Structure 1
Amino acid sequence: MALQPSLRPLLIAGKLDAPHTLDVFLDYVCPFSGKLSVTIDKIVKPWVEAGGRYEGKIKIIFRNQVQPWHGASTFTHEAGLAVARVTPNKFWPFSLRLLQRQGEYYDIPTSTLTPVQIREKLASLYAETDVTSDQVEAFRDLLRNKSTPNGGVSVTDELKYTIKFSRQNGVHVSPSVLWDGLLANEISSSWGETEWAQFLQQKVAV
């Protein structure tokens, strides 16, 4: 699947020229996305990386799946995209940390916070991923509203791209997974090693 150059950090495992693509659409404040992210990280990702059984055969791409009915969803995805811009190698570690701490960004905990306060909370979370103070400030700067009243922030264009990508591919819920460009509705957040092993064995000729 296509991946514009500025979003290369969203390639979380494998090489860009791998013949098979696993697109994983996750929302940072979706509990089921949180569950699937752990499985992807602990089970599937090692199979795709150097020395794994599917090295050179599969790439895994994180796809931002904004769920606007959750008030903080947009802010969390902006944060992920800002991390991808400032420290590309920290995108997946930050994403995992955010998915593990997602309860702090649920509707009720954020209901009394302003957008500025939510973004500052996300900056504090980013600071926990072994980055410098300058990088944290660069992150904050990307999430500051532009000078025009309705201009968004510096990663708004990337956010628009990810939303349009989901829409044109008919992705409506999180988590969703595409295998080689087609929705794989059989994949569940409850899958473990056995189910993933069977799925990939059927799809990939080792």
Structure 2
Amino acid sequence: MALQPSLSPLIIVGSSAAPHTLEFFLDYVCPYSAKIALSIDNILKPLFDANGKYANQTKIIFRNQVQPWHGTSTFVHEASLAVARVAPEQFWPFSLALFKAQDDYFDIPSSDLTPKQIRQKLADLAAPFIGNDKKDSFLDLLALKLTSNGGVAVTDDLKYTIKYSRQNGIHVSPTVLFDGLVVNEISSGWSEDDWNKWLASKL
């Protein structure tokens, strides 16, 4: 559905002109979000890409769903948005890397780290995707502004994603929307057969 142009890298697969839209509201430190992210990559992307069964019919949009009860949630979502700026084509590969490394950002493993240390750790994780030559640009986007409470360079992008979630009443992760409506029956535990049956009934 609606997506500001600067966040076009959040379209994981499919054309912006595709008639149908699947939106996935996911948190990088949510185990259920990680599970459904793998389904997106392994099951849905092949179906919706240029050679897939449903090519040109549906686009998939990733929606950053910050869950503030996870202490590092804001930091990891900022990192993904910074990658979207410096290496747009690497947004989804880096997102998958974040999901796979999510244990490192759980509450206890990160409890003794400062925000700067967490951001440096995220820069190290991002480096293979964005290249060492863009690592400084990545860290610049995550550096605090000179004003005492102004956030970082991608704060406005993060605000957009949070406002979008709030106005649509999204609370839990994962939450999935199809053509703008919440689809409560979709589960992170769905198999390929489950997805195929559901898609056959919708497309």
**Interval containing the TM-score (normalised by the shorter chain):** over 0.9
Which residue in the other structure is 1:49 paired with? 49
2:75 match:
75
The alignment partner of 2:152 has SS state of coil
Aligned identity (percent) is 63
**Equivalent position SS for 2:21:** strand
For residues 192 and 70 of structure 1, the distance between their equivalents in structure 2, rounded to whole angstroms, comes to 28
| Paired residues for 1:54-203 under 5 Å | 54-129=54-129, 131-203=130-202
Tell me the amino acid that sits aligned with residue 10 of structure 2.
Answer: L
Measured against aligned partners, the alpha-carbon deviations of 1:133-171 in whole angstroms (never above 9, x if no partner) come to 221110000000000000000000000000000011111
Residue deviations 1:7-62, cap 9 Å, x none? 00000000000000000111000000000000110001110001101100000000
Moved >4 Å (runs of 4+): none
Give me the whole-angstrom Cα distance separating, in 2, the residues matched to 1:60 and 1:2.
12
Cα deviations by residue, 1:84-131 (Å, 9 ceiling, x for unpaired): 0000000000000010110000000111100000000000000122x3
Alpha-carbon distance between aligned partners in 2 of 1:196 and 1:19, rounded to the nearest angstrom: 19
Match of 1:40 in 2: 40
Partner of 2:30: 30
1:63 corresponds to which letter in structure 2? R
TM-score, normalising length: structure 2:
0.99
SS state of the match for residue 95, structure 1?
Answer: helix
Distance in 2 between residues matched to 1:132 and 1:197, nearest whole Å: 37
**Alignment RMSD, CA only?**
0.6
Deviations 1:54-92 (A, max 9, x none): 100000000000000000000000000000000000000
Aligned length: 203
**Residue in 1 that maps onto 2:20:** 20
**Structure 1 position 2, deviation (Å):** 0.3
Q: Aligned AA for 1:142?
A: L
Relative to the length of structure 1, the TM-score reads 0.97
Q: Tell me, what secondary structure is at the counterpart of 1:99? A: helix
Distance 2:12 2:75 in 1: 21
Supply the AA of the counterpart residue of 1:143: L
Return the alpha-carbon distance in structure 2 between the equivalents of residues 182 and 168 of structure 1.
13
Distance 1:198 1:184 in 2: 14
Name the aligned partner's letter for residue 34 of structure 2: G
- Alpha-carbon separation, structure 2, partners of 1:77 and 1:6: 15
- The letter of the residue matching 2:142 is L
Match of 2:6 in 1: 6
